[in-house]
Amino acid sequence: MRLSVEGPGETTYVQACYRFPNASHPDFFPLTVLDSLLAGPSTLNMFGGGISNKTSRLYRALVEKELAVGLSGGAQATIDPFLYSMSMTIHPQRKPEEALSALDDEIKRIQDEIVSEEEIARAIKQARAIFAYGSENITNQGFWMGYAEMFADYNWFLGYLDNLAMVTPAEVQRVSQAYLQPRSRVVGTYIPVES
């Protein structure tokens, strides 16, 4: 499904949204690693700082090739199934379709080829780091203690890093094939028009 919105401004934005399971689902951890691999790790909640996504596949395919000037992924730990979103700020000299095509190409590569152990290890390391940043102070720990109890139990939080470490390249490929299908996504484009 595609939709476009026109409005004032000078910047074109594209957001592609896919279905994403709740945080207690077995596919949550492989999808979290996939998010880290594709777009750089997400903070999973409102807390935590960011780390660079310059080693991510989409950064190299979109920003370094000047199809986009910025991108981000959006995995969230939620009680109910939600959305995984990838947002792109399109380069002024490019068309949204070019960036969307490059996005699809990178997803297809992961679906068709097993990702190397080394690349998976880096994605896990980055996802671990962003989680650690987001749970290092007492306020964030209190949030996770209560929030994890709402959709699973506190052991979800305690076992988060161990569960990430167990994700394999085959699992990442499997969840990319299951969840990141073009036919089951919504793509929104904001198109600037002159005032």
4 Cα distance to chain centroid = 22
Tokens 């986009």 map to which residue? 68
Q: What letter would DSSP give residue 63? A: I
Instruction: For residue 108, give the H/E element and its range.
Output: helix 96-112
- The pLDDT assigned to 51 comes to 54
Alpha-carbon distance 107 to 112, whole Å? 9
Q: pLDDT by residue for the chain (195 residues), tens digit each?
A: 899 999 999 999 999 999 999 999 999 999 999 999 998 887 665 444 455 578 789 999 999 999 999 998 888 888 999 999 999 999 999 999 999 999 999 999 999 999 999 999 998 888 888 887 777 788 888 888 888 888 888 888 889 889 999 999 999 999 999 999 999 899 999 999 976
- This prediction has a pTM of 0.88
Check residue 16 and give its pLDDT.
96
Within a 10 A sphere around the Cβ of 63, how many other Cβ atoms?
20
Q: Are 151 and 21 in contact (CB under 8 A)?
A: no
Give me the CATH code for the 2-193 domain, please: 3.30.830.10
8 A C-beta contact, residue 131 and residue 49 = no
3 state DSSP class of 42: coil
